[in-house]
A and B are shown apart, each in its own frame.
Chain A
Amino acid sequence: MSAGHNPRSRRRRPARRARGDGFRQLKLLLVLALLAGAAALGLYALHLSDIVTVKFEGKRWAVPARVYGRPLELYVGAPVRPDQLAGELEQLGYRRQEKAGEPATWSVAGNRYQLSTRPFQFWDAAEPSRVIEVTVGKGGIEQMRDPRTGAEVALFRLEAPIIGSIYPSHNEDRALVQRQEIPKVLVDALLAVEDQHFFSHWGLDPLALGRAALANLQAGRVVQGGSTLTQQLVKNFFLTEERTLTRKLNEAIMAVILETRYSKDEILEAYANEIYLGQDGERAIHGFGLASLFYLNRPLREIDLPQAALLAGMIRGPSMYDPRRHPDRAKKRRDVVLDLMQEEGFITADEATQAKAAGLGVAPRGTGTAASYPAFLDLVRRQLRRDYREEDLTSVGLRIYTTLDPWIQQHAQRALATRLERIEKERKVPPDTLEGAIVVASPQGGEVLAVVGGREARVQGFNRALDAVRPIGSLVKPAVYLTALGMPDRYSLVTPIEDAPITVRVPGGPWSPENYDKQSHGTVTLETALAQSYNLATVRVGLDVGLDRVAATLRALGVERNIDVVPSLLLGSVSLSPLEVAQVYQPLAAGGFRTPLRAIREVLDENARPLQRYPLTVRRAADAGPVYLLDTAMQAVVQSGTARGLNASVPPSIGVAGKTGTTDGLRDSWFAGFTGDMVAVAWVGRDDNKPTGLSGASGALRVWADLMKDLNPGPLRLTPPDTVRVEWVGCDSPTKVPFIAGYAPSPAQACGGSGSGGEGWSQTQEAPPAPAAPGKQDDPISRFFKNLLR
């Protein structure tokens, strides 16, 4: 903006009248000097005015993207138990009352919950505030109705919880509020403690200034500031921290300029959003909007008198009066503010007394926006960076709706931290040497529900869930057996496998794998070989079906990394992160359909207008039949195999399918498994990659068990696809075994058949005629290895 075009320039009026009086030279000189000074200052003020205007009317703040977790869906049959409902409401900062009334309150009588909800703008619609009554039993939600009309409510979603923000590198975080969202009590408190004459002064308050100067003189140091809110805003907004006379002068001039050009409401709104109110790690808490969420876990418009006094009192010293670290100091300060409010006539003595009796109302760390899920946010940020520029993420106030389930996330964090501590105590290993990670996703939707990147889940650091890339050990075995079961002419669940020593010649010398217990187990069924995680049997099967096919299966399931196609691949020499393992197991939990894992559902712009959605996609990764057979074998892992310890914590009726994994020297302990509604991966190991002494079963499996124990997981109901037939197998104690249709043994074969299987297992040779005789294959690599073995 150039001065020439500025209409304000017309209005500059040097006091020319002065020339008409007196002719004495001295006086003239004095006047001229004054005039020159006035003109210079006027020009300077004009310059400052431009600065003020540009900054104030432009984009004032970089507003970080706000990240939300999934909204809790309420409907009859929803697996939401009373403790979860109460927990979610508390997380959202809902107040429990005798009777639910204004938005964000709730009450409970017996198993009937009444909720008065906050309105929320979802991707697809605005959900208005409403009152609903929810009857909750042990098994979940039993009934929902509108208490006023008695009408049934089919479906309702609570607001999405705020789980964090993506703030720029200078680490200023804020949640903007508009003037009408600032409660009167807060304005009163603010005026009482910082600027009594805000609504009447012109930017400066000489009276307050004088009083402060006097007080400071008396005390011999600065005890009181006479700055108005406007001056404080100017100081924070336009000026540096230095305490010089020039800066003070600039501050005063700019304060007056601001006052002349903008309304009190605009200045108040800017102040409320600018003011610094504390620190959360490296994140700076700016503005009352975020401070209210951060300290009190409620939107600013919902705060009451004592809370308003608390926030207003913190301006003087956000770290000194931090209500979490120094609750006593913060309370004293709050009470001082309440006294001042009473002195100023904003509140009565009764109100002040009552407010002083109230607790601080500070939300514990770990609730609402004070909660931090850095590992999950890290994943969100990585996914967003592919689609958005960094500056857009950190400055334009995007709203990111994610898939995070805070309920599961908190359980996962707790499960990892407490279990690792217990293991360290039991095994008398030094504390804090074990580390771990957890990833939980929804099997059919591929939504990432929880990510724990280490036992100190709240600390942003090495994100093991994404970046600890470790050998997966026996977690690879399902891929080996899936490959085999995909050849129904050669393999079924009851195919006898030799679990006997084997040596493979590989570059660098012969490779002789061993079982975990260093024993051989003779001839076992394929299912037993997987359930007991026998290495020797697995290597034989893997070499027979072909290493390249096993690698292809892994790639189809979702491995993106380079796979070293070497025999040790069969025992899990391939290294993956826990998140990648979750991706590999997801198709196994979803009937062979792969759904790329997603952490984000939708992105909205700063006005809550839909911008982008991340859709659900599926793609067949493996045939349904073999996946079904494999899943039943993975259930045997839990029923009778290496993960049977799980039955102590998770009811067998859930039918968990999974696989333990242990790597050389007991460095990595893994468990990956799924229920009807969760596919979850746990890893335990050390950052320095030293041995932990833990197998998959004694480490990660116990973390996994702790996680599931309290989560009320949905049972895994496997439905056999059309291509599967279930047959009775065995003579002495026949059991039902699923086969790929057309490859089941005839009853005669199934009983009294030949072979070394003992129980009479026999590989099916019935019609349709198998293209190749069992055991003989055209795969050159397998032949090559078979020859090697001879």
Chain B
Amino acid sequence: MTNPTRILLLSGWLLAMAGCSPAVRQGPPAPIIGPGGSAAPPASSGNVTVTPLKAPEITTVEQTPAPTAPRPEAAAPREPAAPAASQPAGEDREQVALAAPRTMSKAVKTLLQQAELQRSAGDLTGAAATLERALRIEPDSAYVWNRLAHVRAEQGQAGLAGELAAKSNAFAGGDESLKRDNDRLIARSRK
């Protein structure tokens, strides 16, 4: 680096120091936008809220949403939502008495308990997520499909609940009480 450059640099530095000192920070600390960022974003452009464009259908191959087409669920798993007022919640609750089959693995039992806690706390989205996790482990568990059907029914998704109950029936084998319960859900979905 040449000498004139250095002189210029240094004078620039000095002048800038004069112009800006004493240094007093203004505004909130510089935020970091990122995973686990602790700093609160300022009210400026740093604060970005993402809202899904619409409630679209989400499937790959499906272009037109069927009446029961899946919709992304708005997430509120940690905020207990009040059960849908129009939903006969009590009617659904009475079915909890159905015993989980003995053959069920410990893993799935654990998830069922967790889902039941979430459901009774009003966190239906969370309960559904937990039951879906259980279905990944035991996709042919009639009981888990039945539980998921109940959660959807409580959410007011009667159509989906009926389909899930039918799916449960397909795996129910000789479990007549489970089948009767599924049939009630199916009947309700057709009302």
Contact = CB atoms under 8 A, between A and B. Distances in A.
A223 to B, nearest CB: 12
Interface in A618-673: 618-620, 624
Interface string B16-39: 111111111111111111111110
Interface size range on A against B:
35 or more
Contacts of B46: 57-59
Interface stretch (A82-90, A333-341, A379-387, A420-428): A379-387
Given A216-B1, A387-B54, A389-B53, A73 B136 contact: yes
Given A58-B46, A252-B13, A613 B73 contact: yes
Given A75-B137, A398-B50, A41 B61 contact: no
Given A226-B1, A612-B72, A599 B16 contact: no
A266 B30 CA distance: 8
B33 A392 contact: no
A97 B151 CA distance: 45
A249 B12 CA distance: 7
B18 A252 contact: no
B9 interface: yes
Given A261-B25, A560-B61, A597-B59, A204 B9 contact: yes
B70 A614 contact: yes
A489 to B, nearest CB: 24
A606 B36 CA distance: 7
A253 B16 contact: yes
Contacts of B69: 596, 617
A599 B70 CA distance: 13
Closest 6 CB pairs of A and B: A176-B34, A596-B59, A75-B107, A610-B75, A260-B23, A444-B139
Given A59-B45, A379-B60, A395-B48, A42 B30 contact: no
Given A176-B32, A262-B25, A75 B66 contact: no
Contacts of B173: 719
Interface stretch (A6-14, A185-193, A351-359): A6-14
A12 B34 contact: no
A602 B74 CA distance: 10
Given A57-B42, A212-B1, A383-B60, 5 more contacts: A216-B1, A386-B53, A606-B35, A610-B77, A613-B125
**Among A155, A605, A719: residue with most chain B CB under 10 A:** A155
B54 to A, nearest CB: 7
A524 interface: no
A206 B163 CA distance: 74
Nearest to A721: B170
B60 A597 contact: yes
Contacts, number: 294
**Among B15, B74, B109: residue with most chain A CB under 10 A:** B15
B56 interface: yes
Given A77-B105, A615-B128, A41 B19 contact: yes
**Among B64, B130, B167: residue with most chain A CB under 10 A:** B167
Contacts of A248: 5, 9
Contact of B73 (A202, A445, A615): A615
Interface of B: 1-2, 5-6, 8-10, 12-13, 15-38, 41-42, 44-46, 48, 50, 52-54, 56-64, 66, 68-78, 105-107, 109-111, 125-126, 128-130, 132-133, 135-137, 139-140, 148, 160, 163-164, 166-167, 170-171, 173
Interface stretch (A60-68, A277-285, A456-464, A537-545): A60-68
A418 interface: no
Nearest to A379: B60
B6 A387 contact: no
A178 B32 contact: yes
Contact of A75 (B9, B36, B48, B106): B106
11 contacts: A8-B24, A45-B20, A59-B48, A78-B137, A154-B107, A178-B37, A216-B1, A253-B16, A396-B33, A397-B34, A445-B135
**Among B44, B52, B53: residue with most chain A CB under 10 A:** B52
A444 to B, nearest CB: 4
A63 B34 contact: yes
Contact of B60 (A399, A448, A615): A448
Contacts of A245: 5, 8
B59 A598 contact: yes
A615 B71 CA distance: 7
A475 interface: no
Contacts of A269: 32
A252 B34 contact: no
A398 B164 CA distance: 31
A388 B33 contact: no
Contact of B70 (A12, A256, A596): A596
A204 B110 CA distance: 60
**Among A121, A209, A444: residue with most chain B CB under 10 A:** A444
A612 B73 contact: yes
Given A213-B1, A597-B59, A260 B20 contact: yes
Given A75-B107, A610-B75, A615-B73, A66 B35 contact: yes
Interface in A35-70: 37-38, 41-43, 45-46, 48-49, 53, 56-61, 63, 66
Contacts of B163: 593, 617-620
B103 to A, nearest CB: 11
Contacts of A73: 107, 133, 136-137
Given A73-B137, A719-B171, A397 B8 contact: no
B164 A618 contact: yes
A608 interface: yes
Interface in A69-101: 73, 75-78
Contacts of B76: 610
Contact of B37 (A45, A77, A249, A606): A606
A607 interface: yes
A619 B162 CA distance: 9
A57 B27 contact: yes
